[in-house]
Chain A
């Protein structure tokens, strides 16, 4: 009977959500909504922990629940898979959600829709928990898309604000676009291999990779690799959910949501993309081309997200772009075949970001009431970090890590590609931190920077060892030869050069800005323009408006008028 235990993990928050939803409609008083929802989450967490322990002790198992439908020889059976990955995700999601539930008890007490809030929070958590244990690809997609709809409702929680509705709509539309690609990917896989059961899919894709003709698209003779095409399409879905460039615009726009929602979203929901690629890791290992694309997209996202974050003057938007950058790192790790490291990263980032949001609740709440709060107002004092110190540390750190990883730990980079990610992670994060401190003019900025860099060293080396241990835990049998997805070193050098150029640009911009402000000299026009571009998020959102939204509205108007 123990194999049924994980089924009750999502059931507890789901029951709470349904109970609170019906009671919210009866306009009762606030009541014990927080206690009910938090209690259910506590139950879910305990059950998740037991499930994880069982999976470790007894080994992974699967369980079929019911047949969604049968279509010829294809039977879509919903069920659960309880392996180490599922266990880790269950514990992570339920623990972060429990913290958010507890935190929101007081934070939301002055807001309207208290019960509705908890109903949505518990419902979203329940769907996420059900998704991470899905054993069937169509089931996973269904829950994935449902999570997107619930995310829309959560982000638009403040019903008095049309601005909240707008930002929620962005999330719905971009996630729907991603879902569409995801659906097509699933469809290709089901048609190519005749099953939607994830385990069977892995076996068939590895044993007999399929190709499919494009005659139905009017391209007779053309054939595509089913594995590569399907994984690429599914990755587009992950891109939308995990805010990868250029589908990232919805995330920085969601800062009108209550802080607990932001915490849950940044700490848990946006990580779904990393989870999805991990769940399908054996399939992705059969599609090295896709993994290279994942790496490039992740790298670009990490660099762009981190760079834009540095220029933001609104605290919550800066946090949003910070998450975009972190999601980029996560995708880089997946792109390098370091799947376990991505989960390690998303867990670490989830806890870190939840803590950041919740501990800064007061400040964030103040900024929510006044969205144009300048981060500069939080700190003060003149900058005390000389430019050369920052440059030396941010460009020196990666070299030291490289040498450390390669020589001291004796890890060969081509065989352990997670090290490359660490290099990037350490490099860009250190640069980001030092730049932020420098630009904000924090007191004792030299000490603060050195402390951060020292911490970074500890984290990076710990990450390296921890990462390996975690990989052995998460994938005891491995996910397949990393050599098959060996990175193209030319690509790697290009990315390094790009990162170096951006960091240099950041330093020079920050330096000229601070110096210019101090001396009254104007900064160069080119720098200002670049700054404006980066500050505006490279105007990707504006591009969407001009190229998609406006033409669609115009076309709808024409059809309405003339047809």
Chain B
């Protein structure tokens, strides 16, 4: 049974969709976006009706069907280039906001899932009012589908519920094929909101999965673990094959997010603790990475690696921050990702999980080595010359993020025990 606040948060997407609809009517080039937002509106309406009517099974199925259709459309759209490098004067504030979120997580009350769900809707609502792009709609749509699936799963009876929850978690984490929105996250939109979403949504997915009854977790566990392993392999390989900086980082972060699924999918205290730690580490690492991506200036479309290079010479602090943050994504010892990787490895129950973890370790290092070679080393490239170095204040804020990750890596038992997340 949903609480009042969950019902209220379910209404928020409808308001949001209506706002997006109104804004998009004046946009002249986004027919696909209109289709999506219309479907979104339909899905939202169906979901709302389901909630008000007390979770009728037929309506729930309709909502799920709408969600699946939207997911398929969203995936079929593919990535869309959007001019970036737009000046965003709110960067330092965005960093502070992200730190506030970390503090919020540390001080969160017992009903954390409801609170996080609510916050996420607020974030999405704020996001949608910023700019109007097809990719941004996707960024809005997929987590909305995830949230809809989650709420539908919570109201559904019997066996269907956990599977709906699984879809919701997969869209939120994200796992392949629901990852399109995550790529956009690294490249477009308002930085503060991107950082929020990057930090919060994997945490939400984790808490959602950990809150499932043991029987439900047992039921979806093997599928979740396999899905996580497949997603991890896919993302790691895609990261290796990218030629644009932000996409490399986005896929690397996605591979790390898949570790959360792998951890929860492997039943057992160690793996679940590893998943929890990874979600926390990812929140810090990917949030910081999003901020860093926003900080990298680009005159037109993205940041192709061939135009970069020599960042260490032009902007040494920026290069230093990039090195530090990429290290958080490659399971570097003493940082949170390593402890999480180790715990998930300890809790792995099958060869597929172990193979995926091995792949993450090796491809993670390959991706980081290649990225740093192309961006930090060598003579300055055409795009690098435009980069301005980080101000000491910005560097210090990023340093705090790395410091948080250090605490996660050096005292994982204390962190997990303190947060009540470690299922001993």
Interface residues of A (CB under 8 A from B): 25-27, 66-72, 76, 138, 141-143, 145-146, 149, 152-153, 156, 159-162, 164-166, 168-169, 172-173, 176-177, 179-180, 183-184, 187, 190-191, 216-218, 552-553, 555-557, 559-560, 563
Contact = CB atoms under 8 A, between A and B. Distances in A.
B379 A160 contact: yes
Given A165-B377, A176-B362, A560 B242 contact: yes
A159 B373 contact: no
A177 B316 CA distance: 30
Contacts of A168: 369
A71 B369 contact: no
Contacts, number: 129
Contacts of A173: 362, 365-366, 369
A173 B345 CA distance: 20
Nearest to A153: B323
Contact of B313 (A160, A187, A559): A160
A68 B332 CA distance: 16
The 7 closest A-B pairs by CB, nearest first: A69-B413, A556-B241, A560-B241, A169-B369, A165-B373, A556-B240, A159-B312
Contacts of B343: 69, 71
Given A68-B412, A218-B351, A559-B241, A164 B365 contact: no
Contact of B366 (A68, A164, A552): A552
A161 B372 CA distance: 12
B333 A146 contact: yes
Contacts of A160: 310, 313, 377-379
B377 A559 contact: no
Contacts of A179: 361
Contacts of A218: 351
Given A556-B237, A557-B241, A169 B370 contact: yes
Nearest to A170: B369
A164 B93 CA distance: 38
Interface residues on B, range: 35 or more
Given A66-B411, A161-B378, 17 more contacts: A27-B316, A68-B339, A68-B412, A68-B413, A141-B333, A145-B332, A146-B332, A152-B369, A160-B377, A168-B369, A169-B369, A183-B361, A187-B345, A216-B350, A216-B351, A557-B241, A559-B237
Nearest to A71: B270
Interface of B: 234, 237-238, 240-242, 269-270, 273, 309-310, 312-313, 316-317, 319-320, 323, 327, 332-334, 338-339, 342-343, 345-346, 349-351, 354, 358, 361-363, 365-366, 368-370, 372-373, 376-379, 392, 395, 410-413, 416-417, 422, 424
A163 B327 CA distance: 21
B93 to A, nearest CB: 23
A164 B377 contact: yes
Given A165-B373, A176-B361, A71 B241 contact: no
Contacts of B361: 176, 179-180, 183
Contacts of B317: 25
Contacts of A153: 323
A142 B333 CA distance: 5
A138 B342 contact: yes
A501 to B, nearest CB: 37
A73 to B, nearest CB: 10
The winner among B242, B313, B338, B377 for most chain A CB atoms within 10 A is B377
